A and B are shown apart, each in its own frame.
Chain A
Amino acid sequence: MSRDDSDVNRRTYLKYVGGTAATVGLAGCSDSGGDGSDGEDGDDGSDGEDGDDGSDGGDGEELPEPETREEHLQRANLRLNERAPWVYLNRQYSVYGIASRLDWTARRDERIEAQAISVTEGEPSVTITQSSMDSGLDPHDHRETPTDNIVVQAHDGVLGRNADGDIIDALATDYERLEEGRVRFEIRDGVTFHNGDELQPSDIAYSVNRVVDSEVGIESPQSDQLAGVTGAEVVDGGVEVTSDGVNPIVFSLFASYCKVVQQDWIEARETSEINSDMNGTGPFQVVEYEQDVQIVYEPYADYWGDAPEIEELTIRAASESSTRVSQLLAGETDLIVNVPPQEVSRVRGEDTTEVTAVPSTRVVFNAMRYDVEPFSSPEFRQAMNYAIDLDSIIDNVLQGFADPTGQPTLEGFVGYNGEVGPYPQDVEQAEQLVEDSGHADAEITLETPVGRYLRDVEIAQAVASQIDELSNVSCDVEQRDFASLAGEVTSGDIENMPHFYLLGWGNTTFDASQTIIPLLTSDGALSSYREDEEVDELMSESQNLPGEN
């Protein structure tokens, strides 16, 4: 491939990935975050280095050139820690309340796969209460976690993930990279849909095309979840998927996205019918569906995998967290999502219920626009990080249900840099850096959505008050309607973005690129930080190197 082609592909790919994570992140955070038991503590912060605005290149000691894809991503994370385009805040936890009679391990990707639930006592029926119901049952026509949780009970993907986020086989039993831009999946035999028809490789190809190609059925809002994938076809009994460029995370994408549907079943139905019934290959089949009220499933007898232990599964919704907790305590439901910190003691205080928490795939941060004063100064941005007592925010605002962060990538993700920790609070250094930046006495406003992420306003108020305590900066908070804030952030024009804003970002691909590219590179769809050639270069190179996934 010529350098020019490579660059074109990079740009195309970055654009795709930019969109992917944009929707992954923003849609994924719709369920207002989790929380949970204590998180591990972070290392001490690495110091932010200084440097003139706009310049790049390594400072201090010379680091060896990164070779592998992961090393590129780790280097990008180091660079982003040093240049501090965000005030790094916390990794959210997903916190669930669960009846003691159930045995279940929470997943990091916020999905609840009921097949993994065991009933140790009482009736083998389980009720799950989420914060909202689905926005329709079409597996390819939604973006949000509550709908995902309803769809995944009945639909399998080509690949899947275990509770730790590792990729596992699902409808594909083997997969390999054939060449740049082409991968192949071998399809499992003997799998049937709930209507009894056998799964064909063509169904998988159709499912992929239905997501990525608007001419196949619908304008899927998930098209950007399969970043860079251009299509799929059946070849010699397997399915070959083509991508624009290397697409190093293609298997990771298929492990998280693209549920498989039956082509004939879909094509024979109107949109409204597809949105009110499911015919998948998953462990549960739909028995009853009342839109906005509940969905009831029973195990699918001919499921290809291990049979579920549950004999009846019901999913309902209650938007108020206190209502969900009350339902759990009254024994009306068995598993609830998003238990807020203040309700944890109620759940733990009962013998019949308990709390289970897991670090989620969502990071919360304050983005600072690189192109406006005072945030155009790296020193000023670093100062904002030094001003924050992150541990105090996690302890007092989030009651321990979060982990501190110091880079955009979360621990456990491909590309996470273990050498980089959160910034420590150092008020003197922060004030000095503000002086050095030439923006002493700056007045800034932190814009935050209200109720979108767990304790978003309280976090923003704590951050603003700690910044305000610096002798040479004053900071206040402006509360915003999420839809209007998100509209500005996703408009594609940096001029429309707020200068300083709080956002949460979910990334269920477990890969650094899906956070850094959309949010922190020049081509990122939601990027507040551009023109850092080192980061752009590192990310570009990383996307042209084969990854493990």
Chain B
Amino acid sequence: MALGRFLLKRGIQGVLVVWGVVTAVFLLRFITPGDPVTFVAPLDAGAELRAQIAADLGLDQPLYVQYVDYIAGLLQGDMGYSYLRGTEASTIVFARVPATVELAVAATVVAIVIAIPLGVISATRRREPADYGATLFSLVGISTPNFWLGIMLILVLSVQFDLFPTSRRPIGLFETLAFLVTVENGIAAPMNVDAFLDGLWTWLWHIALPAVTLGTYFTALVTRLTRSGMIEELGQPYVRAARAKGLPESLIQYKHALQNTLIPIVTVLGLQLGTLIGGAVITEAVFAWPGLGTLVINAINVRDWPLIQGSLIVIGTGFVLINIFVDALYAYLNPRVVH
């Protein structure tokens, strides 16, 4: 019950934050230099045509009317119309979401799979070669710029050794999974396992380098967090008591110490996942990965406001949702926060 109230409270806070994001994004248009009409109208457009385009864009209305219209549109899933692309902004934005989410999640998985064992090993073998290796890896990982790492991975692993493709996303994970759950005329079609495996392999093969590139900083960060958290936990009295009780060392490390270490790590994971969703711009550009980051950059370059606003709102909302999820997980791991 307490958990339910806690989540409800977080949910209401989340809605308020999203509202704030929407308002900020809406106002951004009015404080940024560059008239949106200039980018839509032909350059020989007369005042009449410019006025008409401004009216089409709703720019001739008072600010509060535009704001209310915008909120009302958003609530109906309408992010506006991209005049530059001749399509609804929501269609373009939502088409980009899966690529960005896949990349962010894959980078997070890379981080978790590598960082937590590495951090534990590093903490439990302090001042041994494994610890030095893990510390060095963390230092290099945190210091390496994404774009450089991405280009180097492409040059070495793709161009030189032909182990991975250089770039692109020929198939998405959801398209791959669709081979398993195809429904035709309301009846589930037979699973096409071969196509699924082919698709999955292609997807993994293409996402590997972008995920490693995006996840390296994250991996290094989590490794350091895990190491320092584990060192702290392993010095706690309850660990000494467990050892005195004769519990196996692996049980002490992984069941007791690590579980307590995970609480701050989960918080960081959540925050970082949100950051990855909005901050994968460079990785997306280097690997020609068609996600939200590159969409926002391209839209900013041509002042395609419906696309800019739609993308930012999706990114902001994603960030809020992830944080609510992390809060829930945090509450589960550490019930004291509920109170």
Contact = CB atoms under 8 A, between A and B. Distances in A.
A322 B43 contact: no
A54 interface: no
Contacts of A292: 92, 95-96, 290, 295
Given A136-B86, A292-B96, A483-B303, A525 B288 contact: no
Given A291-B92, A326-B155, A219 B86 contact: no
Interface string A488-510: 00110000000000000000000
Contacts of A330: 158-159, 162, 165-166
B76 interface: no
Nearest to B147: A320
A322 B286 contact: yes
Interface in A456-515: 481-484, 486-487, 490-491
Interface in A9-56: 15-16, 18-20, 22-23, 26
Interface string B42-84: 1111000100010000000000000000000000000000001
Interface in B290-318: 290, 294-295, 298, 300-303
Contacts of A275: 85-87
Interface string A264-299: 000000011011000000000000000111000000
A393 interface: no
A491 B169 CA distance: 40
Given A136-B85, A483-B301, A15 B44 contact: yes
A322 B152 CA distance: 11
A272 B86 contact: yes
Contacts of B86: 135-136, 138, 141, 271-272, 274-275
A411 B85 CA distance: 35
Nearest to B165: A332
Interface residues of B, number: 43
A326 B166 contact: yes
Contact of A223 (B44, B159, B302): B44
A274 B49 CA distance: 23
A132 B159 contact: no
Interface string A135-172: 11010010000000000000000000000000000000
A327 interface: yes
Interface stretch (B31-39, B124-132, B234-242, B264-272): B31-39
A20 B286 contact: no
B168 interface: yes
B95 A320 contact: no
Interface in B84-107: 84-88, 91-92, 95-96
Contact of A19 (B35, B42, B53, B168): B42
A326 B43 contact: no
A291 B95 CA distance: 9
Nearest to B167: A323
Interface stretch (A103-111, A175-183, A311-319, A428-436): A311-319
Given A135-B84, A136-B87, A292-B290, A224 B159 contact: no
Interface residues of A, number: 49
A524 B86 CA distance: 29
A281 B111 CA distance: 52
Contacts of A482: 301
Given A19-B43, A223-B42, A275-B87, A327 B96 contact: no
Contacts of A20: 44
Contact of B287 (A224, A323, A491): A323
Nearest to B37: A487
Interface of B: 33-35, 38-39, 42-45, 49, 53, 84-88, 91-92, 95-96, 151, 154-155, 158-159, 162, 165-169, 285-288, 290, 294-295, 298, 300-303
30 contacts: A23-B43, A135-B84, A136-B87, A138-B86, A219-B49, A219-B53, A221-B42, A224-B43, A275-B87, A292-B95, A293-B169, A317-B288, A318-B288, A319-B298, A322-B151, A322-B154, A323-B167, A326-B159, A327-B288, A329-B159, A330-B159, A330-B162, A482-B301, A483-B300, A483-B301, A484-B33, A486-B38, A487-B35, A487-B38, A526-B43
Given A272-B91, A292-B290, A483-B301, 14 more contacts: A19-B45, A132-B298, A221-B42, A223-B44, A271-B86, A292-B95, A292-B96, A292-B295, A316-B168, A320-B286, A322-B154, A323-B166, A323-B288, A483-B300
